Amino acid sequence: MGLMMNHKNWIILHSSKDILNILATISLHRDQSSYLLVVNLSRLGLAKELAEKFGAAIVSIEHRYYGKSTPYKELTTENLKYLSSKQAIFDLAVFRQYYQELLNAKYNVSETENRWFVIGGSYSGGLAAYFRLKFPHLTCGAYASSAALIAIYNFTEYDQQIGTTAGPECKAVLQEITHLVDEQLDSDRKSIKELFGASKIDNDDDFRFLVADAAALSLQYGFHDFVCDLLVNAKKNGSDILEAYSDYVKNVANQGIFGVTLEYYDRLYLKNPTSENSAYRLWWFYICSEMGYFLVAPQNDSIRSTKLDERYNLDFCKDIFGEGVYPDSNMANTYYGGRKFAGSRVIFTNGSQDPCRHISKQTPSKDTIHKE
């Protein structure tokens, strides 16, 4: 989905004047052959600045099931039962305790507690906030950027925000493309898929998902001109907007520009528990078994096809993982608080055009400290 989190790092700032400052990341790799990530400090932005300011070191921690941190060779549905946000934050708690004890032994001190500050963005932003909520004694605070904090079954606000971000002209062209694709799938499904370089996607609704998501990803990550200039200009010049958009989609999907390729939308590929790009299957399990985030078409003025509804998403999950796998967003929100998130000392930041802000915390708490 457009919500695919391709910046999945936890960064933990661990600060103390007397011993050592540590900045750690937890990384989700795209395949099972990856080793522990060696972090390039020049690409960490805010984290790098904080590390330099507080004298922090950096440790990279691999998220369970990703990279080498998978307990199973085959990622069957049964074997994925230990993959959840709850398990992930408990992993971090165990690591934090282990690493603290390791440092104390190394520097021959006892009962020393360094200050740990957790930083995350998108999926990991939610995890950072959850970690602070559930383990306040293990961290002094958290920074959660564009945090996927609130579980939601049908995430219609996503498309509504994409439409606003696109603007009236671009939105109208995208809606026209959706209409044309729906028509051609009914009349000549083979040709339209060939045009988009997506013949391997057998399910027509999965193909519709690809068509909708390719533009949404560009708009979600701030590349408005990348897609909208192309389409608006094609429309004004009388060019074939389907050809223009299909070229764009092929470019995005073939190169994995936004972290996903055609396989991400292909349920037949995702059913394979030993597929080369296991990260796609793992991410979908998180969506299908816990949080939801179903990108369904809004009832009115939708950009994506109205065929992409709740039933489509439930069938998608069922076809990939079998019976009994569906998100329990109410349970997740009960456990973490949902819109009543009660964690303290968490900084939430959101972009005004980012659709993920609708599942983040956007209003300050009563005890918020405002600094001019």
Residues forming a β-bridge with 59: 24
> How many angstroms separate the Cα of 163 from the Cα of each of 3, 168, 229, 355?
15, 8, 15, 10
Three-state DSSP class for residue 21: strand
**pLDDT tens-digit series, residues 186-227:** 999 999 999 999 999 999 999 999 999 999 999 999 999 999
CA distance 68 to 156: 35
CA distance 125 to 149: 8
Number of neighbours of residue 54 by Cβ within 10 angstroms: 17
Three-state DSSP class for residue 310: helix
The two tokens of residue 214 are: 């390719």
Based on the fold, state whether residues 196 and 226 are members of the same structural domain.
yes
**pLDDT tens-digit series, residues 273-320:** 987 778 999 999 999 999 999 999 999 999 999 999 999 999 999 999
CA distance 215 to 250: 12
> How many angstroms separate the Cα of 61 from the Cα of each of 25, 30, 32, 323?
5, 15, 15, 33
Based on the fold, state whether residues 175 and 315 are members of the same structural domain.
yes
> What CATH number is associated with residue 87?
3.40.50
CA distance 273 to 32: 12
Residues forming a β-bridge with 152: 292
What is the total count of domains within the chain? Answer: 2
CB of 217 within 8 A of CB of 252?
yes
CA distance 212 to 304: 5
Residue-by-residue pLDDT tens, the chain, 372 positions: 455 443 344 455 544 433 334 454 444 444 333 222 233 344 467 777 887 887 776 666 788 998 888 889 899 999 999 999 999 999 999 999 998 898 888 888 887 778 888 888 889 899 999 999 999 999 988 989 999 999 999 999 999 999 999 999 999 999 999 999 999 999 999 999 999 999 999 999 999 999 999 999 999 999 999 999 999 999 999 999 999 999 999 999 888 888 889 999 999 999 999 877 789 999 999 999 999 999 999 999 999 999 999 999 999 999 999 999 999 999 999 999 999 999 999 999 999 999 999 999 988 776 655 444
User: What is this structure's pTM?
Assistant: 0.88
CB of 103 within 8 A of CB of 19?
yes
Based on the fold, state whether residues 267 and 311 are members of the same structural domain.
yes
CA distance 285 to 262: 18
Quick check: is 239 in a domain? yes
Q: What is the DSSP string of 313-340?
A: HHHHHHHHH-TT----HHHHHHHH-GGG
Number of neighbours of residue 23 by Cβ within 10 angstroms: 27
The two tokens of residue 367 are: 């005890």
CB of 104 within 8 A of CB of 96?
no
Quick check: is 4 in a domain? no
Query: Which residue carries 């945090």 as its tokens?
Result: 147
Quick check: is 371 in a domain? no
Based on the fold, state whether residues 167 and 292 are members of the same structural domain.
yes
Based on the fold, state whether residues 166 and 271 are members of the same structural domain.
yes
Based on the fold, state whether residues 62 and 112 are members of the same structural domain.
yes
- Give the domain range for residue 203: 153-326
